[in-house]
Amino acid sequence: MNVEVPDVNVLDYELPFLNYRLMALKLGLDYPSRQADPLVRLLVRALRQVKREALPLRPTLAHVTWFLVFAATPAKLSPDLIRLRFNRSAVVQSLRQRLPWHRHGKASPAASPRAETTLS
């Protein structure tokens, strides 16, 4: 099978691998290319790859926000952000359940009828 592979690090062109390398770096974990992965370089590679992927606006903004916020976060808070990233649906569900209009099966404020006011 004659398949030509570019002479580049393919891990620099996949968002999940850039994300995992950034997480490993922030957690202080060792991995093979760590010496070649300063924080700013990984961040720039990730942002460039987001642009290359030409995703719809919402996922593009989500990726850019994640990479920027995570890169700027102090290392000691990184585990908390990683937990949030991988458990966000549970966190969102928990927050929604705490909202007053989600208790006891009530509808959201936007869906509930407004109280009528009368002028005397």
In a domain, 23, yes or no: yes
Locus of tokens 């009828």: 113
In a domain, 91, yes or no: yes
In a domain, 39, yes or no: yes
In a domain, 111, yes or no: no
In a domain, 5, yes or no: no
User: What pLDDT does residue 99 have?
Assistant: 81
Return the half-sphere exposure (C-beta side, CA atoms, 13 A cut-off) of residue 119. Answer: 0
For residues 91 and 68, give the distance between their C-alpha atoms in angstroms, rounded to a whole number. 21
Domain total of the chain: 1
Alpha helices, DSSP H only, in the chain?
A: 15-27, 39-53, 57-72, 78-86, 88-98
In a domain, 74, yes or no: yes
Each residue's pLDDT tens digit in the chain (120 positions)?
Answer: 787 777 777 788 899 999 999 999 999 999 888 888 899 999 999 999 999 999 999 999 999 999 999 999 999 999 999 998 888 888 788 888 888 776 555 555 555 454 444 444
By the 8 A CB rule, do 71 and 36 touch? Answer: no
Q: Cα 13 from chain centroid?
A: 17
User: What pLDDT does residue 72 have?
Assistant: 97
